[in-house]
Structure 1
Amino acid sequence: MTGTAWTDRLARLGITLPAVAPPAGAYVPAVRAGSLVFTAGQVPFVDGKIAATGKVGGEISPEEAKGHARTCALNALAAIDGLVGIDAVVRVVKVVGFVASAEGFAGQPTVLNGASELLGEIFGEAGKHARSAVGVAELPLGVPVEVELVVEVA
């Protein structure tokens, strides 16, 4: 798909990209290097507020965390849209996700499916990507999930 195809697809799916979350430090939301766009790690901000805090497998259920991973991916797509426009996306290359995990929790890949499934929903074949799902002790601001994307753009 090219042109306004992704914008049209988002509209058909009833998905509205959020406003780009302002950086919480000395960085930018997304950077273009050649034909690739790299996003900063995106956390589950909804309407400018953190949607949840806590560890997955503890205070946060894996299913709830999966929803937060989806929100993180939407925020990453908003950063891409703000930099180059969503319709410039050729394909999703890589998803990196971090899951603040309670001791013994090993379901990070299932949590990150929230982001991966959203990208498949929006981009179809062009949404298939490589991925890393990493369990960590803590994430910024106490959030349960953080997601970053690498996409190829025209």
Structure 2
Amino acid sequence: MSGAAAGTVEARLAELGLTLPEVVPPLATYQPAVRSGVYVYTSGQLPMVGGKLPCTGKVGAEVTPEEAKDLARICALNALAAVKSVVGDLDRIARVVKVVGFIASAADFTGQPAVLNGASELLGEVLGVKGVHARSAVGVAVLPLDAPVEVEIQVELVQD
């Protein structure tokens, strides 16, 4: 992975055939992202596309691990949109510090890390070395709206 040069994050998204979506409106009383000092913390991002979930259910039952990995990519893209809504320019990202993924899992499903690779790989493709991060992949019983995956990220900004 190479580092993203200044002014290129959204150009890189375009090269990958991706468009930064509008920020997903909150489902309850919270903000999609909050800045604290040089850090931006996103709320959990669902894989919403055009205001809807592409599919629902548990990974390992109604949703395949491959489908869930693609959904995790969408979550990461939505998280980048939430970061941009707070800082105005994704080129201000110094690095992704942490990614946490929640995977609604069938009782016998243990492939949560492979599902979350969808988000991790997208961040690497878009941000290069700035996208390398610590992370946790957690299996859960159910997520809001019966979403299969939810992802939150923490980014450090270039100091002003």
Normalised to the residue count of structure 2, the TM-score between the two structures is: 0.93
User: Which SS does the other structure have where 1:51 is aligned?
Assistant: coil
| 1:4 shift after superposition | 1.4
Q: Distance in 1 between matches of 2:14 and 2:60?
A: 34
Extract structure 1 runs of 4+ deviating beyond 6 A. none
Aligned to 1:52: 55
Pair 1:20 & 2:61 matched = no
Ranges in structure 2 where 5+ consecutive residues have no aligned partner: none
Q: What percent identity do the matched residue pairs reach?
A: 62
Q: Distance in 2 between matches of 1:13 and 1:146?
A: 22
Normalised to the residue count of structure 1, the TM-score between the two structures is: 0.96
Ranges in structure 1 where 5+ consecutive residues have no aligned partner: none
One-letter code aligned to 2:106: A
Aligned to 1:99: 103
Aligned to 2:83: 80
One-letter code aligned to 1:17: L
Number of residue pairs aligned between Structure 1 and Structure 2: 154
Pair 1:131 & 2:135 matched = yes
Q: Distance in 2 between matches of 1:147 and 1:50?
A: 14
One-letter code aligned to 1:141: L
User: Which SS does the other structure have where 2:74 is aligned?
Assistant: helix
- Superposition RMSD in Å: 1.0
| 1:52 shift after superposition | 1.3
| 1:150 shift after superposition | 0.3
Conserved? CA contact 1:2–1:88, under 8 Å: no
